[in-house]
């Protein structure tokens, strides 16, 4: 699989699971580009803790699981 094919498959899967297109800007509706994917668990937890702190966490994120 090429990188472009992987990106496309990822976006289709996310759209199916969350019923939104992850590559469409929720503010203006423009197409966005995926520039990186964060897979390091401590970094992901750090970002999620920050989003919870500023009250922007996605539904389904359990704040107690991030400690």
**How do residues 4-50 score in pLDDT, each as one tens digit?**
666 678 778 877 887 777 788 878 989 888 788 888 999 988 888 88
Give yes or no: residues 8 and 21 share one domain.
yes
Give yes or no: residues 21 and 8 share one domain.
yes
| pLDDT tens per residue across span 38-54 | 889 999 888 888 887 77
pTM for this structure?
Answer: 0.46
Give yes or no: residues 31 and 43 share one domain.
no
Query: What span, in angstroms and rounded, lies between the C-alpha atoms of 17 and 53?
Result: 25
| pLDDT tens per residue across span 55-67 | 766 666 666 776 6
Residues spanned by the domain of 49:
38-67
Q: Which residues face 24 on adjacent strands? A: 31
Q: How many domains does the chain have?
A: 2
Structure tokens at 54: 């500023």
pLDDT at 54: 78
CB 57 within 8 A of CB 51: yes
Give yes or no: residues 6 and 30 share one domain.
yes
Give yes or no: residues 9 and 28 share one domain.
yes
């Amino acid at each position: 699989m090429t990188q472009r094919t992987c990106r496309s498959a990822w976006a289709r899967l996310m759209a199916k699971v969350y019923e939104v297109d992850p590559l469409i800007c929720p503010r203006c509706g423009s197409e966005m580009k995926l520039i990186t994917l964060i897979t390091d668990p401590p970094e992901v937890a750090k970002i999620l803790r920050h989003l919870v702190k500023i009250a922007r966490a996605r539904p389904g994120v359990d704040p107690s699981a991030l400690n």
